[in-house]
Amino acid sequence: MKDYLLNTVIALILLSIHAADAQNLKSKSVAFDVNLTDSKNLKSGSVPFIEWIEPANETVFLTEKKLFSKLKISSSSSISSVKLNLHEHTDANMRGFVAKDASLRGSMSVKPEENQQQEMTIERDITMMDGINVLEVVVENVDGVVSKSFRIVHVGETALADAAKLHRKDRAVFFLSDNFDNWSDLVNPIYDGRTIASMLEKYYGFEIEVIENPSQDVIFSKLREYSEMEYAPLDQLMVFFAGHGYFDEGFKEGFVVVKESLKDDPGKTSYVSYNRLRNILNVIPSEHVFLMMDVCFGGTFDNAIATSRSAEIYEEVSQSDYILRKLSVKTRKYLTSGGKEYVSDGIPGKHSPFAKNVVDALNSFGGSDGILTLNEIYSYVEKLTPEPRIGKFGDNAPGSEFVFVVK
């Protein structure tokens, strides 16, 4: 019996992990409860799954009190009950949620119809109160297995707090290369990168890490570190590369040249491929990732090089309201110094043309609102020759943005 119980528990854990991965449930708001004291539960491996369609983000900021919620619930065993619980929470910096730490404001039960025993969609308009609300969903199936998930909703004054007080952190990691074993050395990448990093730290409050002349292993090891970090919903991560870039006509793929990259390398295994880099950056758990590259052939990071730019402008909203609006959806964007061509390294000690204009953009401090956007940065570099490229990749959502907020 002990072996049977142990094997059943292991099976349930593996099943829940597999299901979470299949649905991309990377949110920490999902939990499972299984009552193993009931013998019927030992015979079941069913777990109810909760998929949030609206709101998609775990933390939501509202100026209005009305929240539209839409969820899809599925279970291999029949769903017996669904509850929507609205809690009040007082901790503005909460990173998780425990129901016993918050007072219950209201509860709504949803009874599955006959044709909704294995799958159902729930849509509700829910009225929130000023402050921090926690919308909790509790699903139980006929096997007694319970799934819980929640969304944190900030309403009113909390959502309109000063931008500097928002619970968010900006990080940037710089990979700068001007010394190579097999390629010609460059004069400005480290100088350019250090200058931009210093400005981001001093004026925009970024946490900065600068890595000079890295090997391929160092780059991937460092990116792994950032992929294993924890990020709050409004956190941003910027990744910057400066150095040599290369485009292989046979593979139709671009590469970052690293310190040990070989000239004679048909398989390009000593390089960092843009395809691999794109995939790694896309799965980093930060909601907002921005790649900037001052390398040759940088535009080939995107399989379809993008040249258009948005003219979206918000002039009538507050600084914090703008930030909350733009960081409410997932960001995966890039800006490169050129497309499918070589770019200039510049005069020693004078910055590359691309880096100089980025520095000029940072020196503008975002104008009167103190917010510098990617489109504003692009307006400083777009007239360079060759033409810099701006675009999106991976899971970028419409309306996304990466912002630089003056301290």
Taking only the tens place, the pLDDT of each residue in 25-78 is 333 444 544 443 344 444 445 788 898 888 876 767 676 788 888 989 998 888
The Cα-based distances of 255 to 184, 185, 224, 246, 248 in angstroms read 16, 17, 19, 5, 8
| Predicted pLDDT of residue 131 | 77
Which amino acid belongs to residue 221? Answer: S
Which amino acid belongs to residue 287? Answer: E
pLDDT 10s digits, 114-150: 887 889 998 988 888 887 788 889 999 888 888 888 8
Mean per-residue pLDDT over the chain, rounded: 76
Count of alpha carbons within 13 Å of 115, Cβ hemisphere only?
Answer: 1
| Predicted pLDDT of residue 324 | 73
Cis peptide before 386 (omega within 30 of 0): yes
Tokens of residue 83, six digits? 């509850």
Count of alpha carbons within 13 Å of 142, Cβ hemisphere only?
Answer: 7
Lookup result for tokens 């007082």? 90
In the 8-state DSSP scheme, what is residue 227? Answer: H
Crossing angle of helices 374-381 and 353-363, in 10° steps, is: 130
pLDDT 10s digits, 255-313: 889 999 998 888 889 998 888 999 999 999 999 999 998 876 554 444 443 223 333 33
Q: Are strands 59-62 and 145-155 parallel, antiparallel or unpaired?
A: parallel
| Predicted pLDDT of residue 260 | 92
| Predicted pLDDT of residue 45 | 54
pLDDT 10s digits, 181-228: 998 888 888 999 999 999 999 999 999 999 999 999 999 999 999 999
Residue bearing the bigger pLDDT, 22 or 226:
226
- Residue 235 pLDDT more than 70? yes
70 close to 32: Cβ distance less than 8 angstroms: no
| Predicted pLDDT of residue 385 | 75
Q: What are phi and psi of 68, to 5 degrees?
A: -90, 125
- Residue 79 pLDDT more than 70? yes
| Predicted pLDDT of residue 248 | 80
Angle at 23 between CA 22 and CA 24, to 5 degrees: 95
